[in-house]
Structure 1
């Protein structure tokens, strides 16, 4: 899929006001459960600096801010940011790209992104940026649509994506084209193992994932190495190279 950033931003601008409502409708209310799982995984602490990328209207940012974290909500869509500021005036919203984060290195204790990484034109470049802005030892959390590992579930999910979701979108949304894009972007997105490998390749350690809703969604996590763990990894790579030689 060609994901021009301006086209993606314009699509979300057009759906900003009803975006969260439609998400709840089209997911059968599971979007709220997915946000709860994300919140529990992050365990935001008072005073922590957290960057919520592709934050949209702030639905995932607000619970973390309520827990006392200092949340920065970043999004590419000006319409989403405008709506987010209206709903959550106490949260800092920033317009920007996940591929070129407007923050200094080693700034945040955690970076989160929910259902936004697959909308990035170069997702692996974004993962590298997430690593850069995290403090050593900082945490990454990626909640994203995925591929159900059980065949019968996967076939049922494909049927839902191909027939039910587009039909509901045509009835409920003023911009059903956006939801055709949603279906295509989910179908073309890599599975859990492939995304885990992308996260490792970006430089994260302790990479793992947990399936939600039978694998329709997966919650991935990783950590930015500290100087000590980074040195250990380099030593192991050097030892492996010596053995191969």
Structure 2
């Protein structure tokens, strides 16, 4: 059983996601009490892919998050650094051009994408600022970035209840439904350690993105961040 440490060594994080690939989407639906599907819909709405758009979907895992962009007529590239996730995605969605890649060293030319999106993956990258600069590099001028990530509930009492759920309720639920429950203990810890909404917006700006903004989903459990390449 693999559990990544919070210093986020790439090989440890990749191995952790390899372990949970087969049941990852189902486990997320259960642990999020069905909210994960709603969050994916909001991300797709924010990306607003049009026919002919080129969309890079980072941390795409099995490719589930990429399907709405393909259905909209965009050319979508699902990219992930977990080979286990990509193998599972290729089994499920053989027509998607699933691509192995590290968010801090993307295997794409400058300015080739109209939109770049990453959902629940930026938190697991060792060098957040480096990844945001790489996303900027591969996005065309005027192109857009959409980051969906776990965040911090805005209402203090709810924030306390949520923190208790992460550390007390999530591990036993994960044990019941996941092939690698220990990995979800890391995920809970990484959520608690992640910057809040204004702090992540500041990181986007520091990486060169303009007009960073966010919208809270499910009371701030998740935040949907948007920005534009100048």
Does 1 or 2 have the higher relative contact order (CA < 8 Å, sep 6+)? Answer: 2
Secondary structure, counterpart of 1:186 in structure 2: helix
Q: Residue 54 of structure 1: CA displacement? A: 0.5
Structure 1 spans left out of the alignment, 5+ residues? 226-245
Please give the per-residue CA displacement for 1:5-32, whole angstroms capped at 9, x wherever unaligned. 0111011111101000000000001000
Runs of 4+ in 1 over 4 A off after TM superposition: none
Aligned with 1:159 (options 134, 158, 164):
164
Aligned length: 225
Secondary structure, counterpart of 2:64 in structure 1: coil
Q: Residue 171 of structure 1: CA displacement? A: 1.6
State the partner residue of 2:42. 37
State the partner residue of 1:136. 141
Secondary structure, counterpart of 2:123 in structure 1: helix
State the partner residue of 1:228. none
Q: Residue 164 of structure 1: CA displacement? A: 0.9
Equivalents in 2 of 1:180, 1:55: separation in Å?
21
Aligned with 1:203 (options 205, 208, 211):
208
Please give the per-residue CA displacement for 1:64-109, whole angstroms capped at 9, x wherever unaligned. 1111110001100001001111111221111010000000001100
Matches within 5 A, 1:1-245: 1-225=6-230
